[in-house]
Amino acid sequence: MLIRQKPDIPSYEITSESHYLNRRSFVAGAAAGVALLGAGQALGSIGYAGVELGGEVTPESIVTSHNNFYEFGTGKSDPSEHAHQLTTSPWKVKVSGAAAKTGDFDYEDIIKGFTPEERIYRFRCVEAWSMVVPWLGIPLKDILAWFEPTSKAKYVEFTTLYRPREMPGQRSYFSSIDWPYVEGLRLDEAYHPLSIMAVGVYGKALPNQNGAPWRLIVPWKYGFKSIKSIVKIRFTEREPKNSWQVIAPREYGFFANVNPAVSHPRWSQASERRLPSTLFNENRMPTLPFNGYAEQVASLYSGMDLSRHF
């Protein structure tokens, strides 16, 4: 069954690359099971939940070549140049902490039975550049609920793969990150309908440089929260320390909600450079609170001082 959810804007306001515009062909192919995800799961159907608030979808060539994935290097092109070294099959995920189902799981066993949905989301980097990306994802709530977290679970912590022989950035003597990379969410944030585990992009399996076989996407937060190539999930009663928070606590907090009113210590967050951009046309636009998703998520932070809980 093909699931469709009405976008917040008319479809004609969302523009992607020419091959991706042909939705009828794409849906027909997906429904026939000819598209493959991750570790070989056939796409029997795809649900559509386009919730972008306006603007053009960023070209696929940029989304797959302009990344921060420091496991492969600090340059924006390093992931696309080096991620081919990464082996993603088989892929194991270790689940621990306050949950009924814990242990080591095959990635395929976790995602089987779920229907990926297309989610067209804004993606805002803390470095003040942005994209609009058509992810294929599974609601994070559905995945986490499968492990049956207990009443003690208040937060969920995620950890990226540590494999220096395939990830040259982890071998660098100049890295400031104490590998592996760690991120976390409050459980109510993780259970919000906008939070997903992305398993694909542009109707295809997620490329290695974008976090294969799966990555977190939390569209109202800065991009560094959307941890890639996840191998560990831990349910915990206490707030976990995310990697950038440990490295530079004055610059990167736990919540990392997009907030144009709170500047980074070294630059303003009031505006962003939407890719593609050039030296002569930066394609700069105002940044929206919660990256434009305030109506859906602001209630999660009612009563909080967002300049202190940044």
pLDDT of residue 7: 37
- Tokens of residue 117, six digits: 């949905």
pLDDT of residue 155: 98
Domains: count for the chain: 1
Q: What are the C-alpha distances in Å from 218 to residues 45, 121, 154, 191?
A: 23, 9, 17, 11
Residue 308 lies in a domain: no
pLDDT of residue 2: 28
Domain that holds residue 135: 4-299
Percent of the chain exceeding pLDDT 70 equals: 82
Distance, CA of 293 to CA of 274 (rounded, Å)? 17
pLDDT of residue 22: 42
Residue 306 lies in a domain: no
- Say which CATH number the domain at 216 has: 3.90.420.10
pLDDT digits (tens, 9 = 90+) for 195-247: 999 999 999 999 999 999 999 999 999 999 999 999 999 999 999 999 999 99
Residue 135 lies in a domain: yes
Residue 206 lies in a domain: yes
Q: Report which residue type is found at 204.
A: K
In this model, does residue 15 exceed pLDDT 60?
no
Mean pLDDT of 67-89: 97
Residue 50 lies in a domain: yes
Average pLDDT of the residues of the chain = 87
pLDDT digits (tens, 9 = 90+) for 170-182: 999 888 899 999 9
pLDDT of residue 54: 54
Spell out the long-range contacts of 42-47 with Cβ–Cβ below 8 A and sequence spacing 24 or more: 43/116, 44/115, 45/1, 45/2, 45/3, 45/115, 46/2, 46/3, 46/115, 46/116, 46/117, 46/118, 46/136, 46/203, 47/2, 47/3, 47/4, 47/5, 47/115, 47/116, 47/117, 47/118
In this model, does residue 24 exceed pLDDT 70?
no
Q: H or E element: which one contains 117?
A: strand 117-124
pLDDT of residue 82: 97
pLDDT of residue 173: 87
Distance, CA of 167 to CA of 180 (rounded, Å)? 11
pLDDT digits (tens, 9 = 90+) for 110-146: 999 999 999 999 999 999 999 999 999 999 999 999 9
The SS3 assignment for 128 reads: coil
Residue 310 lies in a domain: no
Distance, CA of 136 to CA of 76 (rounded, Å)? 23
Distance, CA of 205 to CA of 224 (rounded, Å)? 21
The SS3 assignment for 295 reads: helix
Residue 304 lies in a domain: no
Q: What are the C-alpha distances in Å from 136 to residues 2, 174, 175, 200?
A: 14, 34, 31, 5
- Tokens of residue 184, six digits: 């976390």
Residue 191 lies in a domain: yes
pLDDT of residue 21: 41
- Tokens of residue 94, six digits: 């270790």
The SS3 assignment for 207 reads: coil
Tell me the pTM.
Answer: 0.86
Angle at 195 between CA 283 and CA 268, to 5 degrees: 35
Percent of the chain exceeding pLDDT 90 equals: 79
Q: Are the C-beta atoms of 61 and 69 separated by less than 8 Å?
A: no
Lowest mean pLDDT among 17-26, 83-92, 253-262: 17-26
